[in-house]
Amino acid sequence: MNIILRPIVYLMSFIIWHDVLLLKKYLFDRKKRSFFLKKCLIAVYTKRMNKMGSWIGQNSTFKNTPVFPHGIYGIFISGGAVIGRNVVIYQQVTIGSNTLKGNPHFGSPTIGDNVLIGAGAKIIGKVSVGNNVRIGANAVVVRDVPDNCVVVSNGRVIQKDGVLDNRFFSYINGKWGYFKDGVFVVDENN
């Protein structure tokens, strides 16, 4: 790429696509675009992901923007993964594919809605994680998890009665609130 154009394209993409997930969506969800523009933006996307020590595969699907309480640092999401609505993903999480042909869990994970994934958790292979699930820090998930469960570090699944509230609360501008569909909602109860 031209030495003069590179910083301009990088700056413009940073202004327009300050959120790397929006940039990913623009890059990989649309079919027709200029080859030159696409090549430039893929370079920007790759540079940003490398700078954060992360990767979000081009074929991964998000129903809406997940909450990253500590940013997208050290997070790996493989291509083909499907992430539901209102998912909270902490740092150093791997949502990876099993690429060993012939393995019963060959493929990518599917994560349900309202799931909380703790720091360092690993979800590997074609597994389905249900809705309202909490995956504890450093837990390794290699089999399906039903709705309303807690997965602890040794892979043990604990079924809970009722729906788990996995909203991520934060204190912003002097008010407590949570994120819903990628938007901060003030909690009127606090």
Domain locations in the chain? Answer: 5-51, 54-190
> Check: CATH 2.40.37.10 for 54-190?
no
Quickly list DSSP for 56-68: E-TT-EESSPPB-
Residue 138 confidence (pLDDT): 94
Contact status, residue 178 vs residue 172, Cβ threshold 8 Å: no
CA triplet 149, 155, 161: central angle to 5 degrees? 15
Determine the Cα–Cα distance for residues 70 and 68; give it in Å rounded to an integer: 6
From residue 5, give the alpha-carbon distance in Å to each of 10, 11, 12, 21, 122.
8, 10, 10, 23, 39
Determine the Cα–Cα distance for residues 95 and 80; give it in Å rounded to an integer: 10
Contact status, residue 111 vs residue 131, Cβ threshold 8 Å: no
- Cβ burial of 42 (10 Å; 0-12, 13-18, 19+) is middle
3-state secondary structure of 167: coil
Residue 169 confidence (pLDDT): 82
From residue 133, give the alpha-carbon distance in Å to each of 40, 150, 151, 153.
38, 6, 8, 14
- Give the mean pLDDT per block of 10 residues along the chain (190 residues): 57 57 64 68 78 85 88 89 94 91 90 95 95 95 94 81 82 84 79
Determine the Cα–Cα distance for residues 97 and 154; give it in Å rounded to an integer: 20
pTM, whole model, 2 decimals? Answer: 0.78
